[in-house]
Structure 1
Amino acid sequence: MKMNRRGLLGLFGAGAAGGYASAAMARQSPAVRFAHGVASGDPLSDRVILWTRITPPEGFVGPVMVQWRVLETVSETVVTSGHVQTGQDRDYTVKIDATGLKAGAEYRYQFFVGEVASPEGRTRTLAVNGVRPVNLAVVSCQLYPGGLFNAYEAIAALPELDAVVHLGDYIYEYGASASDYGMATGPMLNRIHEPAHEIISLSDYRIRHAQYKTDADLQSAHARAPFICVWDDHETANDAWMHGAENHQPETEGDFATRKATALQAYYEWMPIREAAAGQMREAINRSFHFGDLASLMMVETRLTGRTKALEYTSDLTAKEGPDGEPVLDIEAFAALRDDPSRAMMSSGQHSWLKNELAASKGTGRKWQVLGNQVVMARVAGPDVSRMMSAEQVAGLMAQIPEAYRDQFEQALFLFKMGLPFNLDAWDGYPADRERLYADFAEAGVKPIVLSGDSHAFWVNDLKDASGHRRAFELGTASVSSPSIADALGGFPLGQALMQANDEVVFCDQSAKGFVLLDLYEDRAEARLMAVSTIFAKPFETTVLARFNITPDEEISRL
């Protein structure tokens, strides 16, 4: 379909505030703006989170009273309303857990400060029973300087949408120097990170969240349907794990635990996500959502609660003396290190929780169990191109690679000849814990659909355990705007090479940008990989790159 920018934020009308806000409150209210739109999230059968942010006048530092209301979509009857105070202590964000709603119903909602009205949003609660089809849009990895958020314009225009599942990298922590990630395109698009330095402090993280939510397309998608979100690494720092991150240097950037707490505070302020329950760690955002009698969605956390440090080829793949006395790579020692049972992506507590949730969902008769998971789960070895091409073809390929990436690519090709994993920061870096997860699936009696982000690529994978038994199906979404490895490799068909090299990889496209549409029915699940034609201009085209059908306990088939 052909897409043009539309005034989707006003799709439902401005909603006059004059008769709703009291005259007394109007006289006392500052002249605020709703510059960051509205959002809803974490829907349950009787409640949903509503979110907005007030932009007060410059120099204003006092509290602001905000009114809110929820209306039935058809009758426009106000079903619940209230008021709440916000201020500097939460960066003037507003979050309401609107309760007392009907199951499986659509609603409209809006906020008011005096006579100033926010845009109006749409949301939906979850059904308690019935097998109505479930329509989910799956997104990940939106780098503001990387390109326009055209995927969100396409999502906002969808005629049927129950929820948007966001798998992380909602923001990125990098700065705006010429060498920073995304800055090859940021200046061209006038999308330069604020603040201009890498974000460390609470103020930094708040400013960065605020900048991303000024994007009109992201605002439109938030106003269209509830989001169900989980973070990945860039909401804190690149390649984060329990006690650190690749992009965190304690010597100059302080204690990682402090940075993590700061990042999570800003995340909870700025995202339409339910707050952690009393007594729970803020990092523990694994939670479940049940769509009537048809499906359950379990969101897992694989970064901050149980993950051990990722391995790196540069530091963990060592050399030993070869038969002729010359050093050779010690592949066996590296394999033993990677297979260490103590290496984990999730805590034992989260494993137990997930197994119980899967079994309970299966026990109720729900046909589908879906995992909202951050990183690719499939077993994916890097491609050995020497088996796919002649020496002359490989030489020609190398000539096409931009000079800045040629050495790295050549090193990667050398490692991949030995069957080493394509990505150690994914589940492939934690094979023992992946086997524990597959055992959880087997004990619960389910073959779930695993949703994955992070890789900036589309994937359809047939997940099998070490014994070759199918344990799940995987759908990986491309990025909204973050660059992929293929973007740096010229015309090299990386996706095709990965498909040829790996039995579990049914489909892979490493170049396209977009999102996944997952439609769940009683007898099948249909996945459409939706690609936008460009992230550098408007208008743009949205096309179905590929479509797959999944039937419970059967093969994946391409439609």
Structure 2
Amino acid sequence: MSQKLHRRTILQSIVAVAATTAFGCSEEETTEQQAAQSRAYFPQSVASGDPRPDSVVLWTRAVDEEHGGDVTLSLEVSTEESFGTLIANPKGLQAQVAHDNALKVKVTNLSPRTTYYYRFVYEHDGERFVSPVGRTKTAPAPGDAVPVKFVVGNCQDYVGRYYNAWQRLLQLNADVDAIIFLGDYIYETTGDPAFQSSNTTRGVTFSKPEEALVQKNGVFQYYAAQSLSNYRDIYKTLRTDPLIQKVHERYPFINVWDDHEFSDDCWGSNATYEDGRRSEKQDDRRRNAEQAFFEFLPIDTAGTAGEGSINVDSEPKYPDTRIYRDFEFGKHVKLIVTDYRTYRPDHLIPEDGYPGTVVMDEAVLTAIGAAPAFASDLFAYVDVDAAELAAVKGALSQAYVAQAMKAGLTQAEATAKAGTWVKGKLALAYVNQTLAALGQAPISAAGKPRGLAYVHMGKVDLFNIRGSRYVVVKDTFDLYAGYRYLSSGKASENVWGATQEDWFNQQVQATNTWKVVVSSVSFTSLVWDLRQKADIPDSTLRQRFYFNVDQWDGFPTKRKELLSTLKAKNVNALVLSGDIHASYASVEEGIPMLTGPAISSGTVQELAGNAVLGAGYYSGSAIYKYVVAQLDATLKAGNDKLVFSNSTQHGFLMVEVQADQAVATYHLIPSSEIDKDYSQRTPDELQRKFTTQSLRVQNGAITAA
């Protein structure tokens, strides 16, 4: 009769056999075997987060594959690495199957700025299995006049990439108060060829692919997480990486999400994979993403949880989520962590916006005094609902339906959208282009009114990120954004929501020397100024463009209002942000801001290159030269407030905040190294690949340090 050999039984047999060999087993070898056996119960190791002067959140995931079910743990916390004296020892903690056996515990009554060691213990069948030991540190006490040091990280795509940046941080063994992680901790897709590698040694496989969203990019098919199981699989896979385990074991994290924890370029519970072809409001998917985020990261959502296990089920989910929160690190630092994604409105130019749609007609332009700037025939428009243009409207509608069906819509869907968009005031700049493609005569601009349409902001296709979320004409977009802001009662750019904005305004009044504002997306304005580039043959491209209006450039009126208010109130602020996969430093509206590089995700130069090539411009073209090969020079020319720009490297940012200054050091590695596993090489090999750039932030200015 056979008996199933379980994993623990096999491990015990191996230990027993090893003990009876001729050479025996040394004490050191036995310890290593015991550690390996224990680690099997804690496959994602341990982590800590949200450090405050008197508390910290501790995390682990504990599984027993032999017995399954919930796993009962105890927690040991000590100021001694030997755990000779325990200052906390809660027992009966449940790593529940309902939460994928993840557990987070808030430990309170701690001492300020003190290093603590912690470990979880699973006792079963008379054996004691111990997790890896974690080390964490509480924040300084309020009023303590001490310098504070943070590491800033973001965007750590796992697929096909290695965490060399985290390895370098571990080599430095820096004394850091916390790691501020700005978002994109995970990527929700399993291998999007637009930006992810096909390296199968670093991939994500869903245990329930039937619950995922099937995505296609040309001939490539891949998945996007949709169910709770899908999102959990990504966290579990990423957290098996030894380097990120060691970083979590070494430092407390302060996490905020950006978009990929849910869905690329999201707003609220809306995804953007379809680029406006269909509605992508996905409340359940959003809540699944949040559930996994709360399960796998040591976050105390509102800072109100008492001592003991944090019940993830009791943490509010969308639309009631709240992850914006503040931290006090002594006298000098008030850390203000904001949430850019949960409450924000849609992008100002909808992805399905009809390029010809006039959004500011002649009456509006005249009322705001902008009409003279739009006198050119380029801005002429007609009302296609006029009786004499019935044939034109019919032709435009037919063209719309044909284009929409080619883009993947059914005839019924395309016809419905044509009815929504092909009507009213339409710009001749687009109408005549469409008529020409149909072999019909153009409409004369003579005597026609002038107005601003989506096409004048760079929207040239029905369903496309170009001209909606990326590569938008700056000057016309700024005008439209300002108009929408006033006409909507500021709702069009209400990024944080009223409650969060009120909270933010209260936080910046704190007496701490510095108000360090954390934003998942960059505040630094990224502009391609191509106006004087005579070697660009297409005159419509010789304009100023925002590269990315999914970040704060997409809400320019609110951005300026927020920064100007901080300056007017004489707030000593420093903004830390990420998302764009590059390193930038600028002082805008009088406020210094630092953007940190991506840990591993493709650099902005690589992404810009893919976009330009995908738009049909070859690598030797003038467009490619200015917005890819010479990207940093173009960005500096487009924004004279940009004092440091590096769009080609990965890494992390280390910031030390002192009473009178903040010193920021970028630790950078070329993008060509990100697909190489340096964990298998000698330490000096990785060290030689890194360079540093230090900047000083003082009296509202950023200079070389």
Same fold (TM over 0.5): yes
Query: Is the 2:54–2:108 contact (alpha carbons within 8 Å) kept by the matching residues of 1?
Result: yes
2:502 to 330, 335, 352: 352
Query: Could you tell me which residue of structure 1 aligns to residue 694 of structure 2?
Result: 547
Query: Is the 2:45–2:132 contact (alpha carbons within 8 Å) kept by the matching residues of 1?
Result: yes
Residue 337 of structure 1, CA deviation: 3.5
Query: Is the 1:30–1:64 contact (alpha carbons within 8 Å) kept by the matching residues of 2?
Result: no
- 1:514 and 2:651 correspond: yes
Cα gap change, 1:61 to 1:372, in 2 (>3 Å): same
Query: Could you tell me which residue of structure 2 aligns to residue 474 of structure 1?
Result: 593
Query: Is the 2:301–2:325 contact (alpha carbons within 8 Å) kept by the matching residues of 1?
Result: no
Amino acid at match of 1:426: Q
Secondary structure of the equivalent of 1:165? strand
Cα gap change, 1:238 to 1:154, in 2 (>3 Å): same
- 1:193 and 2:193 correspond: no
Query: Could you tell me which residue of structure 2 aligns to residue 382 of structure 1?
Result: 528
Q: For residues 31 and 193 of structure 1, what CA distance do their matches in structure 2 show?
A: 22
Amino acid at match of 1:297: L
- 1:141 and 2:291 correspond: no
Q: For residues 434 and 238 of structure 1, what CA distance do their matches in structure 2 show?
A: 22
Question: Which of these two proteins has the greater Rg computed from alpha carbons?
Answer: 2
Residue 525 of structure 1, CA deviation: 0.5
Query: Could you tell me which residue of structure 1 aligns to residue 429 of structure 2?
Result: 327
Q: For residues 259 and 430 of structure 1, what CA distance do their matches in structure 2 show?
A: 26
1:69 to 66, 76, 86: 76
What TM-score do the two structures reach when normalised by structure 1?
A: 0.82
Residue 176 of structure 1, CA deviation: 3.2
Residue 311 of structure 1, CA deviation: 3.5
Residue 255 of structure 1, CA deviation: 5.2
Give ranges in structure 2 of 5+ residues lacking alignment.
1-27, 207-221, 305-313, 359-374, 381-427, 431-454, 458-474, 486-490, 610-618, 620-627
Query: Could you tell me which residue of structure 2 aligns to residue 4 of structure 1?
Result: none
Query: Is the 2:49–2:56 contact (alpha carbons within 8 Å) kept by the matching residues of 1?
Result: yes
Residue 371 of structure 1, CA deviation: 1.0
Residue 280 of structure 1, CA deviation: 5.7
Secondary structure of the equivalent of 1:108? strand
Query: Is the 1:358–1:444 contact (alpha carbons within 8 Å) kept by the matching residues of 2?
Result: no
Q: For residues 173 and 247 of structure 1, what CA distance do their matches in structure 2 show?
A: 12
Query: Could you tell me which residue of structure 1 aligns to residue 630 of structure 2?
Result: 493
Query: Residue by residue, what CA displacement relative to the aligned partner does 1:369-424 show, whole Å, maximum 9, x if unpaired?
Result: 1111011112332231x636x62xx69xxxxxxxxxxxxxx9xx955x32231211
1:338 to 481, 487, 492: 481
Q: For residues 100 and 15 of structure 1, what CA distance do their matches in structure 2 show?
A: 37
Query: Residue by residue, what CA displacement relative to the aligned partner does 1:477-522 show, whole Å, maximum 9, x if unpaired?
Result: 1111111231253770212210122112111111100010101111
Q: For residues 482 and 146 of structure 1, what CA distance do their matches in structure 2 show?
A: 10
- 1:532 and 2:669 correspond: yes
Query: Could you tell me which residue of structure 2 aligns to residue 53 of structure 1?
Result: 61
Query: Residue by residue, what CA displacement relative to the aligned partner does 1:54-93 show, whole Å, maximum 9, x if unpaired?
Result: 13216x4322101111110478421111120122111000
Residue 42 of structure 1, CA deviation: 0.3
Query: Is the 1:200–1:253 contact (alpha carbons within 8 Å) kept by the matching residues of 2?
Result: no
Query: Could you tell me which residue of structure 1 aligns to residue 614 of structure 2?
Result: none
Q: For residues 30 and 573 of structure 2, what CA distance do their matches in structure 1 show?
A: 42
Secondary structure of the equivalent of 1:303? coil
Q: For residues 376 and 458 of structure 1, what CA distance do their matches in structure 2 show?
A: 10
Query: Is the 1:16–1:117 contact (alpha carbons within 8 Å) kept by the matching residues of 2?
Result: no
1:86 to 87, 92, 95: 95
Query: Is the 1:149–1:481 contact (alpha carbons within 8 Å) kept by the matching residues of 2?
Result: yes
Cα gap change, 1:499 to 1:371, in 2 (>3 Å): same
Query: Could you tell me which residue of structure 2 aligns to residue 404 of structure 1?
Result: none
Q: For residues 30 and 106 of structure 1, what CA distance do their matches in structure 2 show?
A: 24
Amino acid at match of 1:194: T
Query: Is the 1:163–1:225 contact (alpha carbons within 8 Å) kept by the matching residues of 2?
Result: yes
Question: Between the two proteins, what is the percent identity of the paired residues?
Answer: 27
Paired residues for 1:111-260 under 5 Å: 111-114=120-123, 115-128=128-141, 129-157=143-171, 158-176=173-191, 179=193, 181-184=195-198, 186-187=199-200, 190-195=201-206, 197-247=223-273, 256-260=282-286
Secondary structure of the equivalent of 2:233? helix
Q: For residues 254 and 333 of structure 1, what CA distance do their matches in structure 2 show?
A: 28
Secondary structure of the equivalent of 1:349? helix
Query: Residue by residue, what CA displacement relative to the aligned partner does 1:209-233 show, whole Å, maximum 9, x if unpaired?
Result: 1111111111111111100010000
Residue 544 of structure 1, CA deviation: 3.7
Query: Could you tell me which residue of structure 2 aligns to residue 295 of structure 1?
Result: 333
Residue 439 of structure 1, CA deviation: 4.6
Q: For residues 104 and 565 of structure 2, what CA distance do their matches in structure 1 show?
A: 35
Query: Residue by residue, what CA displacement relative to the aligned partner does 1:88-146 show, whole Å, maximum 9, x if unpaired?
Result: 11100010101111011111111111211111111001111322221110001011014
Cα gap change, 1:518 to 1:85, in 2 (>3 Å): same
Query: Is the 2:178–2:252 contact (alpha carbons within 8 Å) kept by the matching residues of 1?
Result: yes
The number of residues matched between the two structures is 500
2:111 to 93, 102, 119: 102
- 1:42 and 2:42 correspond: no
Cα gap change, 1:290 to 1:251, in 2 (>3 Å): same
RMSD: 3.2
- 1:450 and 2:597 correspond: no
Q: For residues 630 and 269 of structure 2, what CA distance do their matches in structure 1 show?
A: 37
Q: For residues 253 and 315 of structure 1, what CA distance do their matches in structure 2 show?
A: 10
Cα gap change, 1:253 to 1:110, in 2 (>3 Å): farther
Residue 253 of structure 1, CA deviation: 10
Give ranges in structure 1 of 5+ residues lacking alignment.
1-12, 18-28, 396-409, 465-469
Structure (1 or 2) with the greater helix fraction: 2
Query: Could you tell me which residue of structure 1 aligns to residue 544 of structure 2?
Result: 419
Query: Is the 1:548–1:558 contact (alpha carbons within 8 Å) kept by the matching residues of 2?
Result: yes
Query: Is the 1:316–1:334 contact (alpha carbons within 8 Å) kept by the matching residues of 2?
Result: no
Query: Could you tell me which residue of structure 1 aligns to residue 389 of structure 2?
Result: none
Cα gap change, 1:299 to 1:356, in 2 (>3 Å): same
Deviates more, 1:502-511 or 1:153-162: 153-162
Amino acid at match of 2:516: V
